[in-house]
Amino acid sequence: MKSTLNDTILRIAVATPLYCLFDYLAPIDVDISNLSPGSRIEIPFGKSKRFGVLIEMAKKSDVPQERLRRAIRCINSDDIPQELLALCRWAADYYHHPVGDVIATALPTLLRHGKTVSDATVNHWSLTQVGQECDTESLARAPRQQTLLQQFQRATHFMLSRAELQASDFAWQPSLKTLIDKQLVQPCEPNLSAEVKTSSVELNDDQQTATEKIQQKLGSFSCFLLEGVTGSGKTEVYFEAMQMVLNENKQCLVLVPEIGLTPQLTQRIEKRFNQNFVAYHSGLNDSERARAWQDAASGKAKIIIGTRSAVFLPLANPGLVIVDEEHDLSFKQQDGFRYHARDIAIRRAQQLNIPIVLGSATPSIESSENVRNMRYHCLHLPKRGGKANPPTVGLVDMRRQALKGALSPLLIAHMERTLEKGEQILLFVNRRGYAPALFCHDCGWIAKCQRCDANMTVHHTKHCLRCHHCGGQRALDKHCGDCQSTEITTLGFGTEQIEDTLTKLFPYQRIVRIDRDTTQQKGSMNKLLNQVEEGQADILIGTQMIAKGHHLPNITLAAILNADQGLFATDFRALEHLAQLIVQVTGRAGRGDKAGHVLIQTHYPDHPLLQTLINDGYRAFSERLTTERRAAELPPFSHMALLRAEAVDEASPMQFLQSAKEQAEPLAMDNTFLLGPIPAPMTKRAGRFRAQLLIQASDRRSLHALLYQWVRQLSSIKLARKVRWSIDIDPMDMN
Ligand code: ADP
Ligand code: ZN
Ligand code: ZN
């Protein structure tokens, strides 16, 4: 007998490139009243099986009865909460991306594949009586177990949390298991409370005002921009606001740009709060991610700190969202579902009716403009928090200087003086490797990547040429690729070469290099930073990775070896990013009680915006840049979307975009412009030719009205099958 209930149609989101939901009949044996949007459902899909997420139920389907298939089963756990589902649906609309793929991005892999994780999650362990009395020397033959036992013996209440263990840089799980087997360690439930562990610093007046303003808005939506120079005590303001939220037994979601930043902040949170917290980032394995998801969903985790994708974590009882370094580019996903985690976080806070705090020393032009038009409230911390004074900044004119490698005589003199005082130095270099190009002195040939429009980077340590865009690698050329001359040399410099130069100039100093090549192993970045912090290094060389967040109080001299690349780049955001970088590097110097000094090497010391930045500060710079953007009608004074296409042949991407443009023209309003198509600035990457069409409109609504109709038609273009295309809303990187 056929039950009428089972004729219910389930409309399911599946991770595919298609902009639609898929209709299925409910499984035979399922009680419909138990189903709600957000349930995970296994379905037959083509010739295979897949998992999807129930979006809505319906009585009728447009799919003819005989073609409707029946769903296989429903999974009765880890449903996606309604609020999160609503957020995903909003994001799918805003970014014009298929909702199934948005949900797939939001879910941890295990849950996406229909799995469940056992509920009995242990997050804390402590020593047994035997463990407390155990002499660690008895474990001398098992050094990891020994280290771990020592760590437990040093810990408060002999207890360690999962987050603390995850911060250690070795595989702790097997050792922990052995210690449990030996009955030295046992799982435990911590005695958590809203009390602070360590007393907080006494807030200065600016911090106090900022905290009070946030406090007034608890329980309702408000977006704050916390603008404070580096070291002004933004983190202390976050902590005060978090404390107020935790006192009400609510959760705090903290987004940070990169994993490299997480350990220090994690440690500070661990020290400060006596609360269950999870860290959610790409360093976790699948089951750790799923567990973190559950702890956030159940409300067990009170503080959730994570990178970009953590914006999609479910929250049982949310109270506050914080986005640290809101201007940072890594909040924007650059492939697949190209969302901006900061922007989604703002939308989410609004939906949850809770406050959100965006923090930065160098707010994005967009966010500052939103303060000006009163959408955000500004909280300003103009002074450094503790005793430290702001560093002095100087430009070094590189023209006609006798350089040693990439170092000017003035910089070298400053370095010598700093080292004599026993203080540390940080040198920022924007390239890893030895040199960004290999060059023939006789004919001008430059070694290129065969798959990209890019020069190969010379790596001396590994003795090879590498492409930083596609990962391609080959042996160092001994002859010129054109004229066979052996007169080939390198052009420009990268971190490896600077390290070389320094070893010769300062043979007795200890040098630490931090870039992607020296930090491939898990935990190695922290190890190197600790070396610097503990005074086991004199000079620190590094890329972007060292510009952010780290508190290294004995660094008193910081230098940017070459600021010129950002000055004349074609991307209209390049100057903004250069200024943010300069300020960030500046923030690394003189964080302790000794004065800091910063040198910026450039061939264009008279550049007006550089001058404004150095003489009048980031705020003045930002205002000047805003004026230029307004005059040029660039974002945030207009709104953009970028349609990209790529293919193995050169012609298809341009042809596809041309057809796309013709499709869009009748749909576009007068204030919407279709610019291009043009070949992408990097026309070929990883063996594919790339082109782009820019859509620009004076108001957001016209842009989205066009996109809504148009993007869904694009797959009807004949070449749509031959090219890979994608739409990027509010693009940050125009390459
Ligand atoms: P930011 O997050 O803005 O870079 P932090 O919160 O990390 O700044 O503070 C920088 C340093 O100043 C830290 O060592 C912090 O303990 C100290 N600090 C911050 N606020 C105060 C204060 N009100 N009194 C004393 N020290 C402070
Ligand atoms: Zn040559
Ligand atoms: Zn390449």
Instruction: Using only the alpha carbons of the chain, give its radius of gyration.
Output: 28
pLDDT value at residue 362: 95
pLDDT value at residue 262: 61
Q: What is the pLDDT of residues 402-411, one digit of tens each?
A: 889 899 999 9
Residue 444 counted as domain residue:
no
pLDDT value at residue 354: 98
Question: Band of the pLDDT at 260, cuts 50, 70, 90?
Answer: low
CA nearest ligand 1 atom 11, residue:
231
- Whether 58 and 98 map to the same domain: the answer is yes
Contact 232 CB / ligand 1 (< 6 Å): yes
In 362-474, alpha helices (H):
365-372, 409-420
Whether residue 120 is predicted with pLDDT greater than 60 in this model: the reply is no
Contact 203 CB / ligand 1 (< 6 Å): yes
- Whether 155 and 220 map to the same domain: the answer is no
Whether residue 679 is predicted with pLDDT greater than 60 in this model: the reply is yes
For residue 58, what are the β-bridge partners? 9
pLDDT value at residue 1: 40
Question: Band of the pLDDT at 3, cuts 50, 70, 90?
Answer: very low
Q: Which atom of ligand 1 is nearest to the CA of 204?
A: 23
Instruction: Name the residue range of residue 695's domain.
Output: 639-729
Residue 516 counted as domain residue:
yes
Q: What is the pTM of this model?
A: 0.88
Whether residue 5 is predicted with pLDDT greater than 60 in this model: the reply is no
Q: How many domains does the chain have?
A: 5
pLDDT value at residue 2: 44
Residue 607 counted as domain residue:
yes
Q: What is the pLDDT of residues 228-245, one digit of tens each?
A: 988 889 999 999 999 999
pLDDT value at residue 193: 58
Residue 470 counted as domain residue:
no
- Whether 14 and 73 map to the same domain: the answer is yes
| Number of other CB atoms surrounding residue 381 within 10 Å | 23
Which residues, at least 6 apart from 210, have a Cβ–Cβ distance to it below 8 Å? 224, 226, 237, 379, 380, 381
DSSP calls for 333-350 = --SSS--BHHHHHHHHHH
pLDDT value at residue 90: 98
CA nearest ligand 1 atom 5, residue:
233
Q: What is the pLDDT of residues 48-66, one digit of tens each?
A: 999 999 999 998 899 998 8
pLDDT value at residue 445: 95
- Whether 212 and 276 map to the same domain: the answer is yes
Residue 466 counted as domain residue:
no
Q: What is the pLDDT of residues 347-377, one digit of tens each?
A: 999 999 999 999 999 999 999 999 999 999 9
Whether residue 123 is predicted with pLDDT greater than 80 in this model: the reply is no
pLDDT value at residue 72: 93
Residue 199 counted as domain residue:
no
- Whether 313 and 165 map to the same domain: the answer is no
Whether residue 436 is predicted with pLDDT greater than 80 in this model: the reply is yes
CA nearest ligand 1 atom 6, residue:
233
The three-state DSSP-derived secondary structure of 549-599 is CCCCCCEEEEEECCCHHHCCCCCCCHHHHHHHHHHHHHCCCCCCCCCCEEE
Q: What is the pLDDT of residues 533-566, one digit of tens each?
A: 899 999 999 998 887 767 788 999 999 998 888 8
- Asked whether the beta carbons of 548 and 581 are under 8 A apart, the reply is no
CATH number of the domain that residue 21 is part of:
3.40.1440.60
Average pLDDT, the chain: 91
- Whether 504 and 407 map to the same domain: the answer is yes
Contact 230 CB / ligand 1 (< 6 Å): yes
Coil, strand or helix: which one is 525?
A: helix
Rounded Cα distance between 451 and 472, Å, is 8
Residue 324 counted as domain residue:
yes
Contact 491 CB / ligand 1 (< 6 Å): no
Give the rounded percent of residues in the chain with a pLDDT score beyond 70: 96
Residue 462 counted as domain residue:
no
Q: Residue 236 Cα, ligand 3 centroid: separation in angstroms?
A: 44
Rounded Cα distance between 688 and 681, Å, is 13
- Whether 26 and 145 map to the same domain: the answer is no
pLDDT value at residue 9: 93
**Greater confidence, 339 or 565?**
339
